[in-house]
């Protein structure tokens, strides 16, 4: 099926021109109120500000919603172009969008299922885990913990453990084990992250450092440390992932991904495609940066 769709290019162009009349860009995202998604949306909105496009965000929670949207959005005339954030995607879905002439860009982690037939912006969360481990090792930590997310059943997005795998790999290379008791996974929330940290800090040989798979969760960990009277970083070092906007303002050490920049690039790819539907597929792998601030 996929190859046949490529024959539709002239039709695609005609439809793309017709679609332009809507002046509407869509974003399909699960958990759109998580801080990292909000920062990506800020990047998207910053490019559209001043352009004759309005931004419409579709909040996707269940798998059924996700599948329905991916099946129908190419056919219904709701938006001129679509940015899909953090949702798995395959070649069949990609082919449907290409056939319809709707511009589409994916923004996801490296280990999520995705299609090479659509332009994409990719973050390597396994690399983030490795960088966090290397930073904590370089600070002399030998007993470390991991606070991460876990997808509830029937959730729209897949929740990779690449971040944890990378963290564990880099520790193993240094001869440091990460026993299961030092790994806490729970559905994403500040409250859960604080409880997860308390559980790790209750261990008889408690960790001297915790890597949280997001800055939001790292803020939960910092709150647990304060509740226990632990000084950060001398009693407990904390590092997050994302570099959300407030991270710098609260002095949080983190592995940064350029969240706003990724939103900006996504919408730029989309506008390029809308201007020229025959444009080559592009892929950007986002750079990651260690920000060592006050918490490590």
Q: Which residues bind a second copy (CB under 8 A)?
A: 32-33, 38-39, 41-42, 45, 48-49, 54-61, 65, 190, 194, 216, 219-220, 222-223, 226, 245-246, 248-251
CB nearer to a second copy: pick between 143 and 223: 223
Smallest distance from a second copy to CB 5, Å? 27
Nearest CA among 112, 72, 62, 116 for reference residue 94: 116
Closer of 130 and 194 to a second copy (Cβ): 194
Instruction: Give the H or E element holding residue 186.
Output: strand 183-186
In the complex with a second copy, the residue whose CB is nearer, 170 or 210, is: 210
Least distance (Å) between residue 56 CB and a second copy: 6
Nearest approach, Cβ of residue 250 and a second copy (Å): 6
CB of 57 to a second copy, least distance (A): 4
Q: Are β-strands 237-242 and 81-85 bridged in parallel, bridged antiparallel, or unpaired?
A: unpaired
| Closer residue to a second copy (CB): 20 or 110 | 20
Q: Which is nearer to a second copy, 38 or 185 (CB)?
A: 38
Residues 200, 149: Cα–Cα separation, whole Å? 15
Least distance between a second copy and beta carbon 252 (Å): 10
Token code pair at residue 278: 């025959």
């Amino acid at each position: 099926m996929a190859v046949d769709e490529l024959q539709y290019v002239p039709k695609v162009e005609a439809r793309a021109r017709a679609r332009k009349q809507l002046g509407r860009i869509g974003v399909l995202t699960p958990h759109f109120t998580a801080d990292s998604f909000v920062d990506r949306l800020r990047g998207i909105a910053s490019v559209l500000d001043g352009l004759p496009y309005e931004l419409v965000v579709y909040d996707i929670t269940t798998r059924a919603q996700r599948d329905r949207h991916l099946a129908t959005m190419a056919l219904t005339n709701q938006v001129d172009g679509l940015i899909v954030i953090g949702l798995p995607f395959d070649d069949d879905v990609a082919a449907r969008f290409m056939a319809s002439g709707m511009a589409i860009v994916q923004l996801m982690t490296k280990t999520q299922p995705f299609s090479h037939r659509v332009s994409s912006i990719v973050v390597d969360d396994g690399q983030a885990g490795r960088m966090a481990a290397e930073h904590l090792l370089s600070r002399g930590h030998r007993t470390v913990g991991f606070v991460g997310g876990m997808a509830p059943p029937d959730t729209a997005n897949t929740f990779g453990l690449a971040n944890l795998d990378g963290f564990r790999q880099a520790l193993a290379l240094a001869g440091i084990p990460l026993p299961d008791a030092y790994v806490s996974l729970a559905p994403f929330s500040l409250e859960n992250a604080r409880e997860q940290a308390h559980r790790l800090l209750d261990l008889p040989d408690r960790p001297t450092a915790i890597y949280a798979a997001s800055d939001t969760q790292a803020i939960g960990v910092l709150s647990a440390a304060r509740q226990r009277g632990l000084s950060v970083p001398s009693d407990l070092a904390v590092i997050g992932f994302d570099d959300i906007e407030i991270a710098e303002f609260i002095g949080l050490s983190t592995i940064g991904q350029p969240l706003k920049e990724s939103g900006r690039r996504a919408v730029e790819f989309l506008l390029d495609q809308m201007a020229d539907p025959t444009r080559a597929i592009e892929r950007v792998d986002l750079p990651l940066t260690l920000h060592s601030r006050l918490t490590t």
